[in-house]
């Protein structure tokens, strides 16, 4: 009994001083993926988030609207919960610092430390940054402003209770030295060690000049300092003084995930509070980097705050989650832009993952009536794929343990890329045409089984996508009931019937979206000038030379093939539906003997877009695709980067 390993993970509790932005969603999505992954590996997870509702900042925000603080926070906290629901954040508990249970814990913590003699009464005279709710001594200010946020500080002078941080400085340094995993990443550990070595002042832990806070239990003229109150939420959420069994099980926390600007509070005030209470310290405090907007810090005053709700409504929750998890090297600052988001969606989700699923399911339907066949003998191709599927699961486990979330996603995408390559190498359409039935069975099974494993790996990061993929694979067992052991190769039962659905991630027309948005107005189309000298030296291979003006008459464009089918009665022709930017066209091409229609969908090819339309075997052809050919072979001209359809070829 009780042998299940536990994992206790927390996010910061956010200030309800405003609506949350994409930066808050960043921290919470990472924490959610870690929580989901650890549950998947069989651990008993406690995932905590919440809201930090007291303090001068909130009191002022409410006053500016002429309402009481509680009324104000109640409204905003509702928007937090809606946001987390939208982002499928699987938190187990949400602590509001205005909760009665928390109130009791904070007062008791204060009382115990006071009784021990580590909190004493004095007078504070110094600086205070209200946006950060932080005290500063004069010599730490930068140009007279808050060194953390650069904003104006206020001089305050009031009676206060002080917490003897200085008494614990050496013990804390020793703990940091002996536990390299305690503060991560390493750069932040070094910063904190230097900070502590420069000398810790005792900390003011009460205020008297406003009253929106938890009263000091021994002196109701004072309210408890908001950070002392807020940090204690991690004890409240674990059941401290309320549920001894839960608390014994979950404490200490395994991971406090926070942004780098609040690592100081978490690695100095918080561990010293726990030392004063004789409680064990959390295993790891990770201070991640900031998400910037177009390389600039997001802030309300700059008007560049990205709303996570609008983003999810526009692109889908998993598209945004994927971007946040994959794009930013965990621990470092990262950048958000609409262009980067759309490029990720198109490249990773629509192209790599979406196409793999779509064409695999389509081929199983087309060649095997939708029934996943029994595999037969293996070739090196299958052995390679199976081996990569196995090592990917291990890589994801290792990188998640090392808190390298973006590396975990990259590992999954390497498997997706390998599976796409496997389709091209195994050429199921050729196997079908040449009736190599056993081999086709093996290939189709391997595709479906790889997709099953990808689904199990992906579901911690992109939960809605995982569900959609599971439905298409037709697997009966509930996805939610699957665990790490189910990842072993061969779990997919032959005979399972797949279900055809729409593509899970339609491509987004980047140029269209960008020209609509403000960001797009900065994007000036680059016109490349080809120097005359270079052209003079051009040699022609078989045809007479042409001028650059002759060449410029051709409107060559990137087109995406969205559907392909044979033309009845014409064994050399395929009828392709393509998109060129926003325009849909039909092109008839003589490539049927070289390409199976199924293998073409999703490809980005080059077409002559201004060729006069013509009819071929009664079918309208509005353009011509470019291909290289010899007498017995033909290859389409494709694009080696992810460029949107409609892009000019010149």
Out of 7, 8, 13, 35, which residue is the one contacting ligand ME8 (CB under 6 A)?
13
> Which part of the chain contacts ligand ME8 (CB under 6 A), choosing from 24-32, 449-457, 533-541, 559-567?
24-32
CB atoms within 10 A of CB 411: 22
Smallest CA-to-CA distance from 519 within 293, 199, 234 is with 293
Taken as a whole, the chain contains a residue count of 650
Shortest approach of ligand ME8 to residue 292 CB, angstroms? 7
Shortest approach of ligand ME8 to residue 204 CB, angstroms? 17
State how far the Cα of 150 lies from the Cα of 375, in Å rounded to an integer. Answer: 64
Shortest approach of ligand ME8 to residue 291 CB, angstroms? 4
State how far the Cα of 314 lies from the Cα of 149, in Å rounded to an integer. Answer: 31
In contact, 58 and 76? CB cutoff 8 Å: no
Q: Does 235 bind ligand ME8 (CB under 6 A)?
A: no
Out of 291, 419, 574, 592, which residue is the one contacting ligand ME8 (CB under 6 A)?
291
Shortest approach of ligand ME8 to residue 407 CB, angstroms? 19
Give the residue carrying structure tokens 């000049």.
209
Shortest approach of ligand ME8 to residue 388 CB, angstroms? 33
Q: Does 29 bind ligand ME8 (CB under 6 A)?
A: no
Shortest approach of ligand ME8 to residue 419 CB, angstroms? 33
> Smaller CB distance to ligand ME8: residue 309 or 361?
309
Determine the residue with CB nearest ligand ME8: 23
Smallest CA-to-CA distance from 2 within 237, 238, 250 is with 250
Out of 31, 129, 258, 345, which residue is the one contacting ligand ME8 (CB under 6 A)?
258
Out of 99, 290, 347, 594, which residue is the one contacting ligand ME8 (CB under 6 A)?
290
CB atoms within 10 A of CB 300: 11
Give the residue carrying structure tokens 């932040």.
188
Strand partners, 563: 577
As a whole number of angstroms, the longest Cα–Cα distance in the chain is 97
Out of 27, 33, 236, 442, which residue is the one contacting ligand ME8 (CB under 6 A)?
27
Q: Rounded to 5 degrees, what are φ and ψ at 625? A: -90, 155
Out of 7, 9, 24, 422, which residue is the one contacting ligand ME8 (CB under 6 A)?
24
Query: Residues near 548 by Cβ (< 8 Å), separated by ≥ 6?
Result: 530, 535
> Which part of the chain contacts ligand ME8 (CB under 6 A), choosing from 18-26, 410-418, 627-635, 642-650?
18-26
Shortest approach of ligand ME8 to residue 492 CB, angstroms? 39
Mask for 567-586, x = binds ligand ME8 (CB under 6 A): --------------------
> Smaller CB distance to ligand ME8: residue 102 or 468?
102
> Smaller CB distance to ligand ME8: residue 222 or 256?
256
Q: Does 298 bind ligand ME8 (CB under 6 A)?
A: yes
Q: Does 268 bind ligand ME8 (CB under 6 A)?
A: no
Q: Does 52 bind ligand ME8 (CB under 6 A)?
A: yes
Q: Does 12 bind ligand ME8 (CB under 6 A)?
A: yes
> Smaller CB distance to ligand ME8: residue 30 or 609?
30
Q: HSE (CB half, 13 Å, CA atoms) of 246?
A: 15
Q: Does 230 bind ligand ME8 (CB under 6 A)?
A: yes
| Helix (H) or strand (E) run with residue 589 in it | strand 583-589
Smallest CA-to-CA distance from 590 within 561, 566, 557, 558 is with 566
> Smaller CB distance to ligand ME8: residue 30 or 363?
30
SS3 47: strand
532, two tokens: 């005359």
Q: Rounded to 5 degrees, what are φ and ψ at 620? A: -70, 130
Query: Residues near 419 by Cβ (< 8 Å), separated by ≥ 6?
Result: 356, 385, 447, 450, 451, 454
> Which part of the chain contacts ligand ME8 (CB under 6 A), choosing from 12-20, 64-72, 118-126, 472-480?
12-20
Q: State the distance between the two ends of the chain, measured CA to CA, in whole angstroms.
A: 69
Shortest approach of ligand ME8 to residue 48 CB, angstroms? 11
Q: Does 23 bind ligand ME8 (CB under 6 A)?
A: yes
Give the residue carrying structure tokens 């998109």.
579
- Please give the DSSP secondary-structure letter assigned to residue 347: I
Shortest approach of ligand ME8 to residue 375 CB, angstroms? 46
Mask for 438-477, x = binds ligand ME8 (CB under 6 A): ----------------------------------------
In contact, 87 and 26? CB cutoff 8 Å: no
State how far the Cα of 95 lies from the Cα of 224, in Å rounded to an integer. Answer: 17
| Helix (H) or strand (E) run with residue 452 in it | helix 437-458
3-state helix, strand, coil in the chain (%, to 5): 45, 20, 35
636, two tokens: 């389409």
> Which part of the chain contacts ligand ME8 (CB under 6 A), choosing from 157-165, 259-267, 274-282, 445-453?
259-267
Out of 259, 271, 282, 373, which residue is the one contacting ligand ME8 (CB under 6 A)?
259
Out of 62, 109, 253, 262, which residue is the one contacting ligand ME8 (CB under 6 A)?
262
Shortest approach of ligand ME8 to residue 97 CB, angstroms? 9
* Residues in contact with ligand ME8 by the rule CB under 6 A: 12-15, 23-24, 26-27, 52, 230-231, 233, 258-259, 261-262, 290-291, 298
């Amino acid at each position: 009994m009780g042998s299940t390993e536990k994992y206790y993970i927390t996010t910061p509790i956010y200030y309800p001083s405003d609506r949350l932005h994409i930066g808050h969603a960043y921290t919470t999505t990472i924490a959610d993926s870690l929580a989901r992954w650890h549950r998947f590996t069989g651990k008993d997870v406690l995932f905590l988030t919440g809201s930090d509702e007291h303090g001068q900042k909130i009191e002022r925000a409410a006053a500016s609207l002429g309402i009481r603080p509680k009324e104000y926070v109640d409204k905003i906290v509702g928007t937090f919960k809606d946001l987390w629901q939208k982002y499928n954040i699987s938190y187990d508990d949400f602590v509001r610092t205005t909760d009665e249970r928390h109130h009791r814990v904070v007062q008791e913590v204060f009382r115990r430390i006071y009784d021990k003699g580590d909190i004493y009464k004095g007078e504070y005279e110094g600086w205070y940054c209200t946006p950060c709710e932080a005290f500063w001594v004069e010599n730490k200010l930068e140009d007279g402003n808050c060194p953390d946020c650069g904003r104006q500080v206020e001089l305050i002078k009031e009676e206060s209770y002080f917490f003897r941080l200085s008494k614990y400085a050496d013990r804390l340094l020793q703990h940091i030295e002996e536990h390299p995993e305690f503060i991560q990443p390493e750069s932040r550990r070094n910063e904190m060690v230097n900070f502590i070595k420069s000398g810790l002042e005792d900390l003011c832990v009460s205020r008297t000049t406003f009253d929106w806070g938890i009263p000091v239990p021994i002196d109701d003229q004072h309210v408890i300092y908001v950070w002392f109150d807020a940090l204690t939420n991690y004890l409240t959420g674990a059941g401290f003084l309320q549920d001894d069994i839960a608390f014994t099980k979950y404490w200490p926390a395994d991971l406090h995930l926070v942004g780098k600007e609040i690592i100081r509070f978490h690695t100095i005030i918080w561990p010293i509070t726990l030392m004063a209470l004789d409680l064990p310290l959390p295993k790891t405090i990770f201070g991640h980097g900031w998400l910037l907007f177009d390389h600039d810090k997001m802030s309300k005053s700059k008007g560049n705050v990205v709303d996570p709700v609008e983003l999810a409504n526009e692109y889908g929750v998993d598209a945004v989650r994927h971007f946040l998890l994959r794009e930013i090297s965990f621990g470092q600052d990262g950048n958000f832009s609409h262009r980067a988001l759309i490029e990720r969606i198109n490249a990773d989700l629509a192209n790599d993952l979406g196409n793999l699923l779509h064409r695999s399911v389509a081929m199983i339907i087309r060649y095997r009536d939708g029934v996943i066949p029994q595999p037969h003998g293996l070739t090196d191709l299958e052995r390679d794929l199976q081996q990569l599927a196995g090592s990917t699961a291990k890589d994801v486990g290792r990188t998640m343990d090392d808190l390298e979330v973006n590396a975990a996603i990259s590992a999954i995408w390497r498997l997706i890329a390998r599976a796409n390559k496997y389709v091209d190498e195994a050429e199921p359409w050729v196997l079908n045409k040449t009736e190599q039935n056993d081999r086709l069975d093996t290939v189709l099974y391997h595709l479906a089984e790889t997709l099953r494993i990808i689904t199990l790996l992906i579901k911690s990061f992109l939960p809605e996508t995982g569900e959609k993929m599971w439905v298409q694979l037709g697997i009966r067992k509930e996805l939610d009931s699957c665990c790490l052991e189910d990842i072993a190769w061969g779990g997919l039962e032959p005979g399972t019937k797949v279900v055809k659905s729409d593509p899970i991630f339609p491509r987004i027309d980047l140029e269209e979206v960008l020209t609509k948005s403000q960001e797009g107005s900065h994007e000036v189309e680059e016109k490349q000038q080809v120097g005359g000298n270079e052209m003079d030296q051009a040699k022609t291979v078989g045809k007479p030379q042409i001028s650059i003006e002759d060449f410029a008459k051709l409107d060559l464009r990137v087109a995406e093939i969205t559907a392909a089918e044979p033309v009845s009665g014409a064994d050399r022709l395929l009828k392709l539906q393509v998109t060129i930017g926003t325009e849909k066209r039909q092109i008839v091409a003589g490539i049927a003997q070289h390409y199976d229609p199924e293998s073409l969908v999703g490809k980005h090819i080059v077409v002559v877009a201004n060729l006069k339309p013509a009819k071929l075997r009664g079918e309208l052809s509005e353009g011509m695709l470019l291909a290289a050919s010899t007498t017995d072979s033909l290859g389409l001209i494709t694009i080696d980067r992810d460029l949107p359809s409609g892009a000019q070829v010149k």
